[in-house]
Amino acid sequence: MALTTNGEIIKTPPRQPVGEACRIKSLPPLTGVIRIPGDKAITHRAVIFSSIAQGTARITNALLGYDCMASIECMRRLGAKIDINGNTLTVTGAKGLKNNQRLNVGDSGTTLRLLTGLIAGAGVSAVLEGGDGLKNRPMEQVVETLNGMGARITSADGFAPITVKASQMRGAEVYLPVAGAQLKGALMLAALNVRSGITIYEDTPTRDHSEIMFEEMSADITRGPGRVTVRPSVLKSLNMKIPGDLSGAAYFMAAATIIPGSHVVLRNVGVNPARTGIIDIINSCGGRIDVLNESMHRGEPVADIMVESAPKIKPFNISGALAPRIIDELPVLAVMACFADGESNISGASELRHKESDRITNTVAALKMMGARIEETGDGMRIWGGGVLNGGARIDPRGDHRVAMTLAVAGAASLEGVEILNPGIVGKSYPDFFKIFSGAKEDAGRDGD
C-alpha cells in the first residue's frame, strides 16, 4: 500500500487500490519517536509555485501521495521540469504555461482548485479532469469567483471536468464566499498575472501557506488580518524542506492521548497557528501535548510535538472560527470525544460535507458501527462520551483517507479493534500510515533521524 517514490516510476496519478482490508487491534500504549511525512497542503504549493518560478528549486521531505503526484504530473504537462529522487524534488520552472493541455488531477480537489486559478489568470486554455473521487467535490465557487473577474470557465454543473478558455482577467476585491484555503490560493495564483492585482478578504481565517510561500518567493504581496493583496509578479525559486504534516500527526496525537500509558514524540511537524487548533483542543480537555524545539523554516514554524496520555478527557465544543483551523482533524476529534466524560459538540463545520466524502455522515455512521453514541447535526456532530468503544466492526471508509485513519485510532482505542476496508486510500496523504501506526503496537521505537 505504500506509494513507490523512487523517481519516474509513477507517471500518472495512480488509482486507489481496492479490495484489501487492514485489521487494527487494541493497542498497548504508543511510545517512541515518529517522523511524520511532509505536509500535503505545503507540498502542493511548493510543487505548483516552483513550477512557475524563475530558476530551479530543491524541495526535500515532499509528500508523494496520490494527490501531490497529481499536482506534479499536471505541472509537468504545463511545462515544468520535475525530477523525483526519494522524497526530494528538483523543480525547474516553466517559462510560460503550455496552452491547450488536458490535465488529469486524479482525485485531488486542491490540485483542481489551485490550477483552475493559475490557468485562468495566465490566460491559457486547458481542460482539467479527474477521477471518481472528485465527482462530489463542488467547484462552483472557484469557477464563479474567477468568472466574476473575466475568466471564461465552464464546469459540469459545478463539478469537474472544468474547461478554462483563454481570457484576460481583471483585478478585483473579493470576499471569500466560504472559508476555503484552496479557493484563496486559486485567486492568489490568478492574481500573479492580473494587471491591477486581486485583494481577497476572508471573515474566518484559513491556512496561510500560500501567503507565506508567496512572501518567501518574492511575490508582490501585502497582507493584514483577514486580507491579502497579490499584484503581478514573477516568483523566484527557493530551496525548501517541507514540514511534517500536522494533519497526519493528529492521528498519533489523538491515539496517544486516549490510550493510557502512551508517550510519543512526533518529529519536525509544521505548527503554523492556522493549523494547530487540534493541539489547543486536546490540551484544553486535559491532554498533555508539548510543542518543543520550535524553529522557523521558510516562514513556517516547525517543532517536535510530545504527547502523553491524558489521565481524564473532558468534553469539548468546537464552533465558529475554530472550525477552519481544525477542519481536517474533526473526524479524529470525534473519536476522542467518545472517551470524554460528557457531551461534546462540533458545529460550524458544514464544509466537512464537501471533502473526500461527506465526513459528517461518514464519520458518524462509522463510529456508530463501533458502538459510539454519536449523531449528526446540520453542520457538525454531537458525541456522548463514556470512555469505551466496543469496536469489532468491519467498516468501509468510503474512499476517504481521513476517515480510514480516524478508524485506525478508534480501533486501537477500542475493546475489539476494527477491520478497515480499502485501506490503500490513505496513500492520498500518508502512504505509510498503517505500517507506522501498527508499528506503534509492537514497539515503541521507530525513529529514524
Q: Which one, 47 or 337, has the nearer CB to ligand S3P?
A: 47
Question: Any alpha helices (H) in 64-208, and if so which ranges?
Answer: 66-77, 109-122, 140-147, 181-191
User: Least distance from C-beta 49 to ligand S3P, angstroms?
Assistant: 13
The active-site residue, picked from 245, 304, 328, 400, is 328
Backbone φ and ψ of 103, nearest 5°: -110, 130
Q: In angstroms, rounded to a whole number, what is the distance separating the alpha carbons of residues 81 and 254?
A: 39
Half-sphere exposure of residue 414: CA atoms within 13 angstroms, side-chain side = 25
User: Least distance from C-beta 251 to ligand S3P, angstroms?
Assistant: 14
Q: Which one, 261 or 320, has the nearer CB to ligand S3P?
A: 320
Pairing of the two strands 159-165 and 152-156 = antiparallel
- For residue 225, say if its preceding peptide bond is cis, omega within 30 degrees of 0: no
Q: Which one, 322 or 393, has the nearer CB to ligand S3P?
A: 322
User: Least distance from C-beta 340 to ligand S3P, angstroms?
Assistant: 24
User: Least distance from C-beta 48 to ligand S3P, angstroms?
Assistant: 11
Q: Which one, 31 or 429, has the nearer CB to ligand S3P?
A: 429
Contact residues for ligand S3P, defined by CB under 6 A = 41, 44, 110, 180-182, 185, 206-207, 327-328, 351
3-state helix vs strand vs coil in the chain, percent to 5: 35, 25, 40
Half-sphere exposure of residue 109: CA atoms within 13 angstroms, side-chain side = 21
**Active site annotation includes 280:** no
Q: Which one, 289 or 349, has the nearer CB to ligand S3P?
A: 349
Q: In angstroms, rounded to a whole number, what is the distance separating the alpha carbons of residues 96 and 413?
A: 51
Backbone φ and ψ of 278, nearest 5°: -65, -35
User: Least distance from C-beta 207 to ligand S3P, angstroms?
Assistant: 6
Total count of residues recorded for the chain: 449
CA separation, residue 32 to residues 66, 107, 135, 271 (Å): 28, 33, 40, 20
Active-site positions read: 328
